[in-house]
Structure 1
Amino acid sequence: MSAQLVVRKSEDRGHANHGWFDTHQTFSFASNYQGFGSLKIINEDIVQPTTGFGTHRHREFEIFTYIISGELQHKDSMGNVEILKADDVQFTSAGTGITHSEYNVHPTLPVHLLQIWVKPDNPNLKPRYQTMTFSESSKTNNLVHIISPVEDHDNSTIGINTDFHMYASLLEPGHKVIHIVQGSKKPRRVYIHIANTGGKLSVNENTMLQQGDGVFVTEVKQGDEVVFESIGDKIAEFAVFDLA
């Protein structure tokens, strides 16, 4: 059976602009966590300089932040204090519960980021924190593996507590990359999100995405191919989520 693709347009996302904080929410809006399988949240946020989120609590989610541009300071109850920059991915397994704060401490530049929440397979996990950097050069015209299940990940990826993979790419105009669907559990599903950075993308040749769009891909299995081509005049920055 061939893959089924359904586009989620950028304007169909939840949106709120509070001045200091501009958020577009693919799945969740007003605390509605329906999501797509274990993938519950993709928020694309811009936080203005010297503003941010005070200390707040999370539990029972795998939470990761992908920095597109700018800087974000993270502090948490595990004692981690870090300023995240472009190309960084910060991962928190909230488990039994953590508190953290997130601030743009830069005096003049906004921070642009994706924040993703995934539901783990098991409750009551021990909280865990990890940051890895995936360079611009490694993502350029390549699909870089960023997150993979803990049981089979290595030092090149961040481990997550469910059957879930994330990839990212910076695809220059006219270039193509191919994603090979992962995992042995059936059925598989894939979600693609293209960031609000001006790029355009074709998926499997006949599905076109503009900045902020996403696409649900179903009826796929391990080993199937999903083909991406940058069709605009700007680099297409996008993320691929591959899950059971």
Structure 2
Amino acid sequence: MSSKIQITPRRSHERGHADHGWLKTFHTWSFASYHDSHFDKGFGCLRVINEDRVQPTTGFGTHSHSEYEIFSYIIDGELQHQDSMGNTEIIHRGEVQFTSAGTGIQHSEYNVNKSDWVHFIQIWVKPNQSKLKPSYTTKQWSDEEKLNKLCLLIDDIKNCNAKTIAIHAPLSMFASILQPNNSIKHVFKRTKGYIHLIMRSGYDVRNGAKIRIGQDIILEEGDGAFINCEELNTELSIENIGSINVEFLLFDLE
């Protein structure tokens, strides 16, 4: 492996996990009742990556947030968002629901479907400005836009365009659906990165998707990896070495 990049896996089984019946959740870092001193404060400006599944007709009741930029990447199912800014929307696969909590908002997230669970990734980022005016946006990307490429979904407000969601932080988030025997490369604009493989196959990942990152790090569904670059413009290769499509999120951040 090149000396310019250090990759440290965060295995799925090492994450915090809770099964509340209506909610099955995995926490990459310390969150709620899960605490791990080694994974206490996130990574760079990333503070939370939770992989959640919510039972039909249940969800998170109205609760408050402030300061953080909070967004959900919908994998399967439907998630209804309601907030104190007057927004009410049902989010589907391929959509990202983004809230800049700023000086404070209240919202709820509810699975209104009567038969299907909703599966989504919830992400919190610490913005580089305090007391922002709360705001809300949703954008959608098709599977085709992510197929065998890195699709930019979220970018620093200093660099973003109309196709992406703006965030007040030095962070870019990409999504990809990589087919077997395909590979892609990413050149980091910053010195940190994180990759998360989505658990599309459920809880038994023995026959799930697999990727190789760098020269020799193998990740399975639910796994993640910390990426530290010694210099800017460091290149990372990502290869699907399994027999099924793999869906993952890649963060380029400080």
State the TM-score bracket (shorter-chain normalisation): over 0.9
> Does 2:182 align with 1:175?
yes
Task: Give CA-to-partner distance per residue, 1:128-186, whole Å, 9 cap, x none.
Answer: 10100011111111110011110111011100001111001011111111111124xxx
| Other structure's SS at 2:52 match | strand
> Does 2:8 align with 1:2?
no
1: CA distance, partners of 2:99 / 2:157: 13
> Does 2:88 align with 1:81?
yes
> Does 2:95 align with 1:71?
no
- More strand by proportion, 1 or 2? 1
> What corresponds to 1:227 in structure 2?
237
TM-score, scaled relative to structure 2:
0.92
* RMSD over aligned Cα atoms: 1.1
The one-letter code of the counterpart of 2:238 is: F
> What corresponds to 1:132 in structure 2?
139
8 Å CA contact retained: 1:7, 1:216: yes
The one-letter code of the counterpart of 1:20 is: W
> What corresponds to 2:205 in structure 1?
none
> What corresponds to 1:242 in structure 2?
252
> Does 2:209 align with 1:199?
yes
2: CA distance, partners of 1:150 / 1:180: 20
Task: Give CA-to-partner distance per residue, 1:205-224, whole Å, 9 cap, x none.
Answer: 31100000000110243321
> What corresponds to 2:61 in structure 1?
54
The one-letter code of the counterpart of 2:193 is: V
Q: Which runs of at least 4 in structure 1 moved beyond 4 Å after TM superposition?
A: none
8 Å CA contact retained: 1:10, 1:211: yes
Task: Give CA-to-partner distance per residue, 1:25-83, whole Å, 9 cap, x none.
Answer: 00123365510011000000000110001100000100010001110000001111100
8 Å CA contact retained: 2:4, 2:231: no
Cα offset, 1:123, TM superposition: 0.7
> What corresponds to 1:28 in structure 2?
30
- Percent identity over the alignment is 48
Provide the aligned length of Structure 1 versus Structure 2: 240
2: CA distance, partners of 1:207 / 1:241: 17
TM-score, scaled relative to structure 1:
0.96
2: CA distance, partners of 1:30 / 1:50: 23
The one-letter code of the counterpart of 2:83 is: D
8 Å CA contact retained: 2:70, 2:100: yes
> What corresponds to 1:211 in structure 2?
221
1: CA distance, partners of 2:80 / 2:31: 24
8 Å CA contact retained: 1:50, 1:107: yes
The one-letter code of the counterpart of 1:11 is: H
Residue ranges of structure 1 left out of the alignment (5+ in a row) = none
Task: Give CA-to-partner distance per residue, 1:5-41, whole Å, 9 cap, x none.
Answer: 1101001100000111000000123365510011000
| Other structure's SS at 2:250 match | strand
2: CA distance, partners of 1:182 / 1:42: 21
The one-letter code of the counterpart of 1:196 is: M
Residue ranges of structure 2 left out of the alignment (5+ in a row) = 201-207
> What corresponds to 2:111 in structure 1?
104
2: CA distance, partners of 1:80 / 1:205: 45
The one-letter code of the counterpart of 2:29 is: F
2: CA distance, partners of 1:97 / 1:127: 7
